[in-house]
Amino acid sequence: MGDEVYVLRRKVTLLGLNLRDQVEVYDVINYRLLRCLTVPNSFGSTDLTSCEYYLCLYIANPFLKCIHRLDIENDFTQWAVNDKPQGLSVNAAHNVLVTCRDVRKIKEFSSHGYLLGELTLPDDVTNPWHAIQTRGGEFIVCHGYYGDAVHRVCKISADGRHIIKSHGGQPGSDIGQYRMPFHLAVDNNEFVFVADANNRRVTLLSPTLDYIRQVVSCDDPKWLPFSLCLDIHRRRLYVSHDQWQDKWTMGNVVVFSV
């Protein structure tokens, strides 16, 4: 947002208990840490997104089943989702799309938390992680968790009833397969970047969800890409990597030119 990069960081106590999440703010030019924002009542958050129109951040909190809103004046508010929120995005109308994995729903809220609508995804879209709405009103959704028969990226009709096109299927590591596609980014031409978490890569798809190429790969099996943010103006893709060594040990953000 603007000339700053916002990174959601989970903070814990020495006993391993969640304390409160923080948002670290970095300069977009040299990535120098500028300040830290502590979000009241926020812990174990799953996603963060920004809105340049309203100049604010939204943070998904599954434990409290709510969304936290932070504006540039550092004013915090929150509103209830009434289901566990997983992924967040902002659509062309500047409203917040909240993906609720457990109930397979996408809920649309105004910037101040008024529920504008919700849709239930098709039965075979299990464990949806993240959704982004296209200019035409359709939804790009990634879904699939351990044990699910299908891991894929889908384009779903505006009413949520029909899968228009999909990429993926049976979980695997070959081209055209995913193992937990977790997060998405879409550019102005509606090309789709997919964080394929357990395959440790980011895949680029066409607007019709055809495979183009692998954008990012990670040779270190301990690092898994879990979220994406695309700076359309600077053509930079921010990829958050988390390290797993019997537990989550550390994380970082890697920046790529795309």
pLDDT in tens, 98-144: 999 999 999 999 999 999 999 999 999 999 999 999 999 999 999 99
- The rounded mean pLDDT for the chain is 89
Fold classification of 121-258 is: Neuraminidase (2.120.10)
Helix, strand, coil percentages (3-state) for the chain, rounded to 5, are 0, 55, 45
Q: In what order do the strands lie in the sheet with 139-143?
A: 128-133, 139-143, 151-156, 163-169
Show contacts of 1-5: CB within 8 Å, 24+ apart.
1/50, 1/51, 1/52, 1/55, 1/57, 2/28, 2/52, 2/55, 3/27, 3/28, 3/29, 4/28, 4/34, 5/31, 5/238, 5/253
12 DSSP assignment: B
pLDDT in tens, 49-76: 999 999 999 999 999 999 999 987 778 8
- What is the spatial distance between Cα 193 and Cα 61, in angstroms, rounded to a whole number? 24
pLDDT reported for residue 223: 77
Listed in sequence order, the residues at least 6 apart from 148 whose beta carbon sits closer than 8 Å to its beta carbon are 126, 127, 171
Domain ranges within the chain, ordered by starting residue: 121-258
